[in-house]
Amino acid sequence: MLQAALIAASLTAGHAVQNADVAYTGPIRRDEPKIYRMTFAATVSTPMERRAENRLNFNLQDTPIVFPLIEQGAYSEIDASSLAGHLWLGNVEDTTLPQRSRIDRGAPMGTQLAIMPIAQFQGQSLRWEIAFDVQCWASEADDAALGQIAWPREWPAEVSDALKPQMYIESDDEIFKATVERVSEGKLRMVPPYYAAKDLIRYCLNEIRVSGDGINKGYNGELQGLEMIGAKQTATSGTGGPHDLVCVCVAMLRAAGIPARPVIGISEGGRKGRRGRAEFLSWGEFYLPGAGWIPFDPDAMRGKGLRNADVKRPWSQLGTIRDLNERIPLAYHFIPPVSVSVPRNPAVWGWDMRPVKLQYVDQFINLGIVSKGAGAIRVPQAPGGTR
- Give the separation between CA 218 and CA 210, rounded to whole angstroms: 21
Q: Given a cut of 80, is residue 13 above it in pLDDT?
A: no
Render 243-267 in DSSP notation, one character per residue.
HHHHHHHHHHHHHTT--EEEEEEEE
User: Model confidence at 52, in pLDDT bands (50, 70, 90)?
Assistant: confident
Q: Is the pLDDT of residue 367 over 60?
A: yes
The ranges of the chain annotated as CATH 3.10.620.30 are: 140-215+226-328
In the structure, what pLDDT confidence band is assigned to residue 25 with cuts at 50, 70 and 90? low
Average pLDDT value over all residues in the chain? 90
- Given a cut of 90, whether residue 262 has pLDDT beyond it is yes
pLDDT given at position 198: 98
Beta strands 209-210 and 239-240 are: parallel
What pLDDT shows up at residue 22? 38
State mean pLDDT over 40-48.
93
Percent of the chain's residues with pLDDT above 90: 80
Domain 4-136+334-374 sits in CATH at 2.60.40.2250
The least confident of 46-50, 300-304, 319-323, 359-363 is 46-50
Q: What percent of the chain has pLDDT over 70?
A: 88
The mean per-residue pLDDT over the stretch 211-222 comes to 90
pLDDT score for 342: 86
> Rounded to an integer, what distance in angstroms lies between the CA atom of residue 216 and that of residue 207?
24
pTM for the complete prediction? 0.91
Question: Cα–chain-centroid distance for residue 274?
Answer: 21
E strands in 58-217: 58-69, 76-89, 92-93, 102-104, 112-123, 125-141, 209-210, 215-217
Q: What SS3 class is residue 135?
A: strand
Tens-place pLDDT, residues 308-329 = 999 999 999 999 999 999 999 9
- Is the previous residue joined to 314 through a cis bond, with omega within 30 degrees of 0? no
105-123 residue pLDDT tens: 999 999 999 999 999 999 9
pLDDT value, residue 277: 80
pLDDT in tens, 151-163: 999 999 999 999 9
Q: Which fold has domain 140-215+226-328?
A: C8orf32 fold (3.10.620)
CA 165 to chain centre: 15
Q: Which residues, including other chains, have CB under 8 Å from residue 294's CB and lie 6 or more apart?
A: 28, 141, 146, 194, 197, 285, 286, 287, 288, 318, 319
Residue extent(s) of CATH 2.60.40.2250 domains in the chain: 4-136+334-374
Residue 81 reports pLDDT greater than 60: yes
